[in-house]
Amino acid sequence: MTRIDLAGLRVRPAQVWGGVRLVPLVRDEPVEGLRLHREVYARCGATAVDVGDGTTYTSYVPHGLVADWSEPGAADGTGTGARGEAAVYGTRLGDGAPVAAVPVRRLARRRHGEPRLRFLPLHLALEGYLALHFGGPSVVWDEWSRQAVRQGLSPRAEAAYAGWQVPGLAEALRVFEIHPGQCGMVLYVADALAAAFVVPHPEDYRTLHPTLVEDLFGELVHQYGLYGGPVQEFTAALDGDRVHSLAQLRAAADAQTREWAAAHDGLMARDLLETPYAFERVYRAGRFGLYRFLPPFLRSGQEQHIGELITDHRGRTAYLKTFRLSEAQIRRGYLLRRLADCDWHPGRTAEALGTSYAELVARIRRAGLGELLEAHVIARRLRETQEG
């Protein structure tokens, strides 16, 4: 698996509110055997999660998601089934008193003795991005500071905005219509793809739709919402001379819907769907696997996303949530990848990038990684370069 597959999900006509465009995704049939519901915590705020390898992940965590799954033939709640979740309509908001914080040692954890997995939405993906070459230089070249060698990229932080901070998003989500069978959406701000969200069951989506204002969005999405203007609303153009009956009107409307879906998948969501990702499986839950993914960090100017998804044994996407990276975040990921590919040797990295030693040092500093460098060694190397 290298790409996001939205097979089984159909695009419905977009809804527009100011600069926010929401494209509904509907399923003919829910994904059997998996349900998602929200777990509300009594106290929200900055929460520290011990990842379990000596590092701590700290972030604002408004709520968690709990995945209930059942095995084939267990829809009646017997055997290994998840209390009949595959046959139950409606989404529960937890099964006990809310906890004060997130008492997990990892960002995804199975509940003891139950076919349930609790995880923090989007934080699996963000932790994967923050852990990118977290250990710092693998070879102790003179240019790297003692702090870089001892602590690597610790602490490493990235900024994000809650959905209610993106201008227009909260109001748009309040007024948008939820379609019958809707199991997801693709969100655009100023016609820039901001996020994709998919769940296995329409009732799950109805319950989780309001939580989108609590999701995390990147700096770029916030700027588009702040400075972007209203976007053009989708309108159907039917040739009245060719429509003489209800059947012809229905056929023309269906043709417009197919045309819009093809334009959306082939143009508006192309970068999201056609980018090859690096997937890491975090957990296997029965027939389902929970993954997080990273983009290739190409300096091509195209949008790039991180995210997490759950697929079934046939590779169908049951759950998806994405986070669009800013240009600065893409540059950091790209630079870290190239340094690691060259064993963190600055000279070889500069040569591989087709640039000078001085420009590489400047790029490292512009990327916010200047503390990794040993200042007096860098100054000496630059003087030697100039004198040479």
pLDDT for 336: 94
pTM listed for this prediction: 0.81
Can you say how many angstroms the Cα of residue 146 is from the centroid of all Cα atoms in its chain?
34
Distance CA 117, CA 110 (A): 4
pLDDT for 91: 29
pLDDT for 50: 65
pLDDT tens string 110-132? 555 556 777 777 888 888 898 88
Distance CA 263, CA 270 (A): 9
Buried b (16+ CB within 10 A) or exposed e, 14-46: bbbbbbbbbbbbbbeebbbbbbbbbbebeeeee
pLDDT tens string 10-47? 998 889 999 999 999 999 999 988 988 887 765 555 66
DSSP line for 54-107: S-EEEEE--EEEEEEE--TT-TTS-TTSSTTGGG--S----SSPPPSS---SSS
Residue with tokens 């998602």: 36
pLDDT for 81: 36
Residue with tokens 């690096």: 278
CB 252 within 8 A of CB 243: yes
Residues in the chain predicted with pLDDT less than 50, given as ranges, are 73-106
CB 10 within 8 A of CB 261: yes
pLDDT for 251: 87
pLDDT for 44: 52
pLDDT for 49: 65
pLDDT for 339: 94
pLDDT for 262: 77
